[in-house]
Amino acid sequence: MTAHWTFKTSQPLNAAIALAQTYLPNMPHAAAQGVPTAVRRGAHVQVDGVQHRYPGMAQNCLEHLNFQVESGQIVALVGRSGCGKSTLLHLIAGLMQPGAGGVYIDGNRVRSTCPRWVVMFQAPSLFPWMTVSQNAALGLRFAGRKAEIQRRIPALLEMVGLTAFAERNVQDLSGGQQQRVALARSLATQPDLLLLDEPFSALDAFTRRALQQDVRRIAKDLGLTVVLVTHDITEAAIMADRALIMAPDPGRIVTDTMLDPGPDRHRDSPAFEAERARLATLFEATA
Amino acid sequence: MTDAAYTQSGTARADAQDARMAALKGWARSVAIGTLGLGILGALWALGGWYIAQTPGMRAFSQLAPVPTFERLWVMIQRGEIWSMSAPSLYRVGWGLGVAIVIGVPMGILIGRLPWLRDLSNAPFQLLRMISPLSWMPIAVMAFATWDSAIIFLIVVAAVWPIMFATAAGVRRIDPAWLKVSRNLGANPLHQLVYVILPAIAQDILTGIRLALGIAWVVLVPAEYLGVSSGLGFAINDARDSLDYARLGATVLVIGVIGYALDSLCLLAIKRFSWLRSDT
Ligand SMILES: Nc1ncnc2c1ncn2[C@@H]1O[C@H](COP(=O)(O)OP(=O)(O)OP(=O)(O)O)[C@@H](O)[C@H]1O
Ligand SMILES: [Mg+2]
């Protein structure tokens, strides 16, 4: 398992590290204080014949799910409310076991939760009796990696722009700030895979846009694999490399498409708008 | 630092000062009202004392009025009697409450977490709870070798229920998302207990302990009527038997003051461990 944490020094990866470091002006001090800025290999996810039914339900909630997510890829799962997106994310995270089929992360069957993959839920669900840094450090504490807390948490809070709030109670924070604490908390254990369940839907448009770009940038800098659940086509186009469109009753994947919204993913650029419109059309046609 | 930053920190300091002034005012107000309330109680007591002194058949009890009581209390404080009569009672209540916490908190957590245990235990516990703790007295006297342990047993029987039920209610109110999030972050069941469940319900447990303390303190005095030759209950009985009504009044006062002090301690602890923001 430690293999995932060793920084590779092969030729293409050196180039990638150099590329990642060009982003560093956006993340002051992160390199100096121990946030891993070198590119790691994100997890590879394979969903193999997954089917699921909730007890007492007549119909399967999910059926015939087969797909893979490449290492370092950001995939958006889009679909209408109730089509089983959250259920799928819970299955991938090992919070539930599928009725049939299996989820494999880096080739190993997922049977329980693991600090290597972390879900960020729709609500931040911070612990109100703790400060911002205590909340962020919780994963490290559970993993018995207390020595890393001092080193990593200040850098992470810097990265999400909450250094000034480190010792404040989380109840003093705005919704967007709380969501950023949840992000720092999810990243603290250096996961290879980030599972995001509509993490920004409760936020105002400005904060949401800022966080959408931040999370994509951070994920790319760290080389994380990301599965993002959303019902917002624009959010998918801003954040994801690829979109999986789901249809309900039973929940299944009907479209699998790569996204190319232009190099800067700027929402006013024609390339972005064209890609967003294409995705919207696909969504209307299939979901 | 920029000008703006200076202004900002200046404003912050003014705000903090305002907040401190407001807090001080609020504190002064509550102290004043509390004193007024105690004054009313004292006046009623004095009125009662005056009435007793006026009523021919009751004159023997006139020593229960405020002035003789406080005179006697002063003497008892000087002789150190207050401490020697309270210490055994505090010892018994401390032990009884401690045992009730050790039983009640884990049981409450289990009942809160396990629906089948809740269903199984609900009827028997509700039934046991409604039995006056004092009705166990004969059984306690037979079952325990010493009077002290019999009294502690009665206090445990009285105090365990509020602690257990308050804990269970707190556990049931825990946001399931907290447990899911902690599991997601790699918590094992012990982590969940220490970092999620106990902090989440600390204020519920303390509220239960506060209720239990009130009941324990009330049960203590009649429990000490029997057998033992120490403690506040014994002192009450002893003063009555020797017709020393000033001493009786002073002891009653001591019981009230200690109970009030213990309750205030509980309140402080609840404030300290409460994470709920009431000011939003
Ligand atoms: N615990 C449960 N027990 C029974 N049925 C459930 C449970 N959770 C979800 N479902 C059902 O499974 C289906 C998929 O739910 P899920 O939460 O995965 O949808 P979703 O795509 O995430 O929707 P949304 O976008 O509204 O969050 C829904 O029809 C829902 O009613
Ligand atoms: Mg959902």
| Structural domain range at position A100 | 11-284
pTM (2 decimals)? 0.77
Q: Is the predicted pLDDT of residue A43 greater than 90, yes or no?
A: no
Chain A residues inside the 8 Å CB shell of B280: 171
Give A15→chain B minimum CA distance, Å. Answer: 32
* Residue A141 at interface with chain B, using a CB cutoff of 8 Å: yes
DSSP A83: S
Handedness of CA B69, B73, B75, B79 (dihedral sign): positive
Which residue lies with its CA nearest to atom 28 of ligand 1?
A82
Which chain A residue is nearest to residue B185, measuring alpha carbons? Answer: A139
| pLDDT at residue B11, as a whole number | 64
Lowest model confidence (mean pLDDT) among A55-59, A242-246, B135-139, B267-271: A55-59
Reported as a single tens digit per residue, the pLDDT across A117-133 is 899 988 888 999 999 99
Atom 2 (ligand 1) nearest CA: A54
Of A121, A139, A171, the CB nearest to B186: A139
Q: Whose CA is nearest to atom 3 of ligand 1?
A: A54
Query: Where are the alpha helices (H) located in A47-96, listed in sequence order?
Result: 85-93
A143 contact residues in B (CB cutoff 8 A): 186
Any idea which ligand is nearest the CA of A55? 1
Instruction: Enter the CATH code of domain B61-272.
Output: 1.10.3720.10
Regarding the beta carbon of A86 and ligand 1, being less than 6 Å apart is answered: yes
pLDDT tens for residues A263-284? 777 778 888 888 888 888 888 8
Cα atoms in the 13 Å half-sphere on the side-chain side of A116: 19
State the Cα angle at B244 between B238 and B247, rounded to 5°.
80
Examine the pLDDT at B45 and tell me if it is beyond 60.
yes
pLDDT of B216 above 90: yes
pLDDT score, position A274: 85
Q: Could you give the 3-state DSSP secondary structure of residue B22? A: helix
- Indicate whether A82 pLDDT > 90: no
CB atoms within 10 A of CB B208: 29
pLDDT of res. B2:
45
Q: Does A97 touch chain B (CB under 8 A)?
A: no
What stretch of H or E contains A105?
Answer: strand A100-105
Chain A residue with minimum CA distance to B189: A142
In a domain, A6, yes or no: no
CATH code of the domain containing A260 = 3.40.50.300
C-beta of A58 in contact with ligand 1 (< 6 A)? no
Position A2 in a domain: no
| Exposed / middle / buried, residue B193 (Cβ in 10 Å: 0-12, 13-18, 19+) | middle
Question: How many other C-beta atoms lie within 10 A of the C-beta of residue B32?
Answer: 10
Residue B21: pLDDT over 60? yes
Number of domains in chain A: 1
Cβ separation B184–A127 shorter than 8 A: no
Decide whether any atom of ligand 1 lies within 6 Å of the A54 Cβ.
yes
CB neighbours (10 Å) of residue A68?
Answer: 12
- Count of CB pairs separated by less than 8 Å, A with B: 58
Interchain contact A145–B (C-beta under 8 A): no
Residue A286 pLDDT exceeds 70: yes
B188, A113: Cβ pair inside 8 Å? Answer: no
Between A216 and A24, where is the model more confident? A216
Q: What's the A251 CA to ligand 1 centre distance in angstroms?
A: 10
Q: Whose CA is nearest to atom 31 of ligand 1?
A: A82
Q: What value does the mean pLDDT take over residues B48-74?
A: 85
Q: Whole-angstrom Cα distance, residue A91 to residue A71?
A: 19
Convert the pLDDT of each residue in A173-206 to its tens digit. 888 889 889 988 988 888 889 999 988 887 778 8
DSSP, collapsed to helix, strand or coil, labels residue A258 as: strand
In chain B, the largest separation of any two C-alpha atoms, in whole Å, equals: 83
Q: What is the ipTM of this complex?
A: 0.76
Integer Rg of chain A from CA: 19
Mean pLDDT is lowest, of A86-95, A181-190, B5-14, B55-64, for B5-14
Tell me, what's the pLDDT at B197?
A: 94
Ligand 2 centroid–CA A247 distance in Å is 14
Confidence band, pLDDT 50/70/90 cuts, at residue A6: very low
Query: Which residue of A96, A119, A127, A185 to mutate against B (max B Cβ within 10 Å)?
Result: A127
Range scoring the smallest mean pLDDT among A35-39, A198-202, A254-258, B103-107: A35-39
In a domain, A221, yes or no: yes
Judged by CB atoms closer than 8 Å, whether chains meet at B175 and A125 is answered as yes
- In this predicted model, what pLDDT tens digit does every residue of B195-214 receive, in sequence order? 999 999 999 999 999 999 99
What is residue B205's three-state secondary structure? helix
pLDDT at A153 over 50: yes
Mean pLDDT, all residues of chain B: 89
* B279 or A224, higher pLDDT: A224
- Asked if the model's pLDDT at residue A18 lies above 60, the reply is no
Q: Quick one: pLDDT band at residue A88, thresholds 50, 70, 90?
A: very high
* Distance of alpha carbon A230 from the chain centroid: 11
DSSP reduced 3-state for B132: coil
Pairwise CA distance, residues B230 & B83, whole Å: 11
Dist. CA B7–CA A276, nearest whole Å: 46
Residue A69 lies in a domain: yes
Which chain residues have CB less than 5 Å from ligand 2, an ion? A 86
Looking at per-residue pLDDT, the higher value among A160 and B81 belongs to B81
Any domain includes A67 = yes
Q: Kindly give the interhelix angle for B81-113 and B232-241, rounded to the nearest 10 degrees.
A: 130
Q: Note the ligand closest to the C-alpha atom of A61.
A: 1
The pLDDT confidence band at residue A247, using thresholds 50, 70 and 90, is confident
Closest CA to A236 of A204, A198, A264, A203: A198
Mutate to test the pocket of ligand 1, among A51, A65, A85 (most ligand atoms within 8 A of CB): A85
